[in-house]
Amino acid sequence: MNTSDILSLRLYNQQLITNNRFKEPAEIVAWMGAMQSQTLEMAKWAIGVRLPGTTVNDIEDSLNNGRIIRTHILRPTWHFVSAKDIHWMFDLSNPRIKPIYISYCKLIEADEQTIISTYPIIEKTFAGGNHFTKPEIQEILQQHGIKTDDRWLNMIISRAEMEGIICNGKLRGSKQTFTLLHEWVPKKYTLSKEESLERLARRFFTSHSPATVEDFAWWSGLTITECRQALQLIKDDFISEDINGRTFWLKNDFKIPEIKKPSVLLLPPFDEYVVSYKNRSEIVEDVHYNKVMTKNGLFDPTMMLNGEIIGKWKKKTVKKGAQVDLTYFVDTTKKVQALFDKEAKRVEAFYKKE
């Protein structure tokens, strides 16, 4: 196997080329395990690009009916996760995420007891299927004499997530709401840690392979020791290949997909194809790296040609929905440019307002 094979397999396994096996947004999210959703409006396209023919309304419907949950999970950042997976994945990742947020509290000198005192208020006020926006939560807490400047409010909400009390609920226009997790997604079963490790590893290495154990550790937020343990649990169904000086894992029945035409994609910022691998040398040349990825962890929307980054793009909000502007980093033939123009139309159609 070579670099081209790695990229082709990743595009195929991430449902970015030649696949039409899934019909619903929640099926895509479940296949991927979890999908980083740092910027909500653009993150909707991360699902849409993998599900041709869908619109932003389809993604929002899945969020509004609770099939897809948006919350902080795995690493301390936003992710989409299937409602069917939220509880076992929360139980697995929470012990590592929670101490991080406790340390954030110390940085802003937030009183731990004050934050804990907000939990009963939240549980009582939210009970009965209520969904509240951040400003509404702020008003509720102020009525109880709780300090709620921006830093405190964000910390209170984040900590309530970390305790499994709330998660994101229905969208209210462009605004995200929060609701009680146990009401929105009742817990139906519990997995052991070993069962959860096996399930998470299988999801990741099926949907993201070829990938390394270091990639899995970065993506999952687990320790290297836990990741190696998880690999041992799935090793009968996976094999390793040494490529480019690294050891990659992939399904033992893999086949290199036959790609008969150029793969042209516009991916949102923080897309799984870009963000979920610790080493990104296969997808971007060093000279272009800082044009789309910064040292402090910000990612721009990327233009992908056959799995490699050749430019970036912007989505502008216009009256009818969206307008896409493209910026190439390399010389590109008019034939390929025409394909990107077509892909831009697909993005615009996804966001089009009726």
Length of the chain in residues, anyone? 354
Q: Residue 26 and residue 343: Cα distance in Å, rounded?
A: 23
Rounded CA gap, 33 and 250, in Å? 16
Q: What secondary structure, in 3-state letters, does the chain show?
A: CCHHHHHHHHHHHCCCCCCCCCCCHHHHHHHHCCEECCCHHHHHHHHHCCCCCCCHHHHHHHHHCCCEEEEEECCCEEEEEECCCHHHHHHHHHHHHHHHHHHHHHHCCCCHHHHHHHHHHHHHHHCCCCCEEHHHHHHHHHHCCCCCCHHHHHHHHHHHHHCCCEEEEEEECCEEEEEEHHHHCCCCCCCCHHHHHHHHHHHHHHHCCCECHHHHHHHHCCCHHHHHHHHHHHHHHEEEEEECCEEEEEECCCCCCCCCCCCEEEECCCCHHHHCCCCCCCCCCHHHHHHHECCCCCECCEEEECCEEEEEEEEEEECCEEEEEEEECCCCCHHHHHHHHHHHHHHHHHHCCC
Please check the confidence at residue 201 and state whether its pLDDT lies above 70.
yes
Over residues 150-179, mean pLDDT:
92
pLDDT of residue 19 exceeding 70: no
pLDDT, the chain, mean: 93
Tokens of 176: 């995200």
pLDDT beyond 70 at 300? yes
- Render pLDDT for 34-76 as a digit per residue (tens, 0 to 9): 999 989 999 999 999 999 999 999 999 999 999 999 999 998 8
Task: Give mean pLDDT, residues 299-322.
Answer: 93
Distance CA 204, CA 32 (A): 7
pLDDT digits (tens, 9 = 90+) for 219-257: 999 999 999 999 999 999 999 999 989 999 999 999 888
Mean pLDDT across 8-25: 91
Q: 210, 10 in Cβ contact below 8 A? A: yes
Cα angle 98, 93, 289; round to 5: 95
Mean pLDDT of 266-279: 96
**Is the previous residue joined to 210 through a cis bond, with omega within 30 degrees of 0?**
yes
- pLDDT-derived band at 114 (thresholds 50, 70, 90) equals confident
Tell me, what's the pLDDT at 276?
Answer: 95
How confident is the model at residue 148, as a pLDDT?
A: 85
Report the distance separating Cα 29 and Cα 35, nearest Å: 6
Considering the chain, what percentage of its residues have pLDDT values greater than 70?
Answer: 99
- Cα 190–211–238 angle (5° rounding)? 65
Q: How far apart are CA 27 and CA 41, in angstroms?
A: 19
What's this model's pTM, rounded to 2 decimal places?
0.94
Q: Is the pLDDT of residue 182 over 90?
A: yes
303 by Cβ neighbours in 10 Å (0-12 / 13-18 / 19+) ranks as: buried
- pLDDT at 20 exceeding the cut of 80: no
Q: What percent of the chain has pLDDT over 90?
A: 81
> Where residue 161 falls among pLDDT bands split at 50, 70, 90?
very high
Pick the closest to residue 74 from 28, 122, 37 (CA basis). Answer: 37
pLDDT digits (tens, 9 = 90+) for 318-331: 887 889 999 999 99
Average pLDDT over residues 86-107: 90
Half-sphere exposure of 166 (CA within 13 A, CB side): 31
